[in-house]
Amino acid sequence: MILTFWDRLTINQKLAVTAWLFLLVPIVFYVTIRFYPTFEAFYVSTLKWNLLGTQKFIGFRNYEKIFTDEDFWLVLWNTFKYAVFGVPISLGIAFFIAYWLNEITFGHDWIRALYFIPFLTTAVAMAWVWRWFYQPMPIGYFNIMLSWVGIPQQPFLKSIEQALYAIMAPAVWAGLGFQIVIFIAGIRAIPRSYLEAAEIDGAGRWQILREITLPSLRPTMIFLTVVSTIGFLRIFDQVYTMSADSSGGPLNSTKPLVLMIYEYAFDEFKLGYASALTVILFLILMVISVLQLWLMRKK
């Protein structure tokens, strides 16, 4: 009797072979679509390359050029502004709503649904709606409503000072539903015994909130802060749709890093320079993720 290769294996060896067989296609996928492109991005960032032209190795010169480019610093500052203002505003509102929503039972699901629905919308579609709201009279609803209470017309998207916040608003709006649902889940996961013990000890609502609810929500807070910080740092859809000709204007005042990457790579085809920008984005996001792991481990 001739034993085939398969028959000669022990049970554990058979299982190991099966496991690698199951992983075969996924490994090919992760290597070719995730890891190889990651290294390629680093590699291309060291090239001077205009897509159709020849590739020339220039070391860190793309990075040198980026760091001496005034526009880059403006764009980086814009990108941070989206996160620095967007994250606390949205988490603050979301927690406030989640806290009170958790206490009501009548129609709870339906009210929660109202807050959650914007999360399910397409960013580009809603960016159009908000862009329309921001138009001057007689089109834009915001200006129409301002005129009712006698406040002068606001330029919103046409103003260097206001445009970034006007574009941030729909991003905050769309993210609230997700954050509220996660906050409610976090609040409900707090053991009832903690709250009851505090109540028996005569702690008031404010004291319970400050000494039990908020500290217990620490992991939820860290999770949501990181997720939404990364989200705001990668903002693109809204800016692309809401700024005239998708330019991140007026005068680059709303342009985030991802839009700059998009322009260099796919309008000007400066792939080396654009890749260097993506590496910078990667490093920024990496720092935030590492910070999250460190914060989570501390307790």
Partner 1 sequence: MTDNTLLINRLERLRPGRILVWTLLFLGGIVMVTPIVFMAATSFKTGQDIYTLSIIPENPSLENYLFILNESKFLRWMMNSLWVATFSTASVLFFDSLVGYTLAKFDFRGRQIVFVAILSTLMIPTEMLIIPWYMMSRSFGWIDTYWGIAFPGLMTGFGTFLMRQFFMNLPDELIDAARIDGWSEFAIWWRIAMPLVMPALSALAIFHFLGNWTAFIWPLIVSNDPDIYTIPVGLASFNGEFQMDWEIVMTASCLATIPTLLVFLLLQKFIIRGVMLAGLKG
Which residues within the stretch 224-263 sit at the binding site for partner 1 (CB under 8 A)? 230, 234, 236-237, 240-241, 245-246, 258, 261-262
Tell which residue, 86, 85, 88, 111, has the closest CA to residue 100: 111
- State the number of binding residues for partner 1 (CB under 8 A): 93
Q: Which amino acid is at 168?
A: M
Rg for the chain, CA atoms, rounded: 25
CB of 177 to partner 1, least distance (A): 8
Judge whether 132 and 142 are in contact, CB under 8 Å: no
- The three-state secondary structure class of 55 is coil
Output 161 or 283, the one with its CB closest to partner 1.
283
Helix, strand, coil in percent for the chain, rounding step 5: 75, 0, 25
Among 100, 160, 214, 267, binds partner 1 (CB under 8 A): 100
CA torsion 238-85-260-69 (nearest 10°) is 160
Q: Which residues of 124-146 are buried (b: 16+ CB within 10 A; e: fewer)?
A: eebbeebbebbbeeeebebbeee
Judge whether 220 and 186 are in contact, CB under 8 Å: yes
Which residues within the stretch 2-21 sit at the binding site for partner 1 (CB under 8 A)? 12, 15-16, 18-20
Which residues within the stretch 116-135 sit at the binding site for partner 1 (CB under 8 A)? 116-118, 120-126, 128-130, 132-133, 135
Output 161 or 238, the one with its CB closest to partner 1.
238
Please give the structure tokens belonging to residue 172: 């905050």
CB of 247 to partner 1, least distance (A): 10
Contact letters for partner 1, residues 182-221 (x by CB under 8 A): x--x---x--------------xxxx--------------
- How big is the chain, counted in residues? 299
Task: Please report whether residue 178 would count as binding partner 1 according to CB under 8 A.
Answer: yes
Which residues within the stretch 62-91 sit at the binding site for partner 1 (CB under 8 A)? none
Output 161 or 192, the one with its CB closest to partner 1.
192
How far apart are alpha carbons 7 and 14 in whole angstroms? Answer: 9
Contact letters for partner 1, residues 271-290 (x by CB under 8 A): x--xx--xx-xx--xx--x-
Which residues within the stretch 25-64 sit at the binding site for partner 1 (CB under 8 A)? 25-27, 29-30, 33-38, 40-41, 44
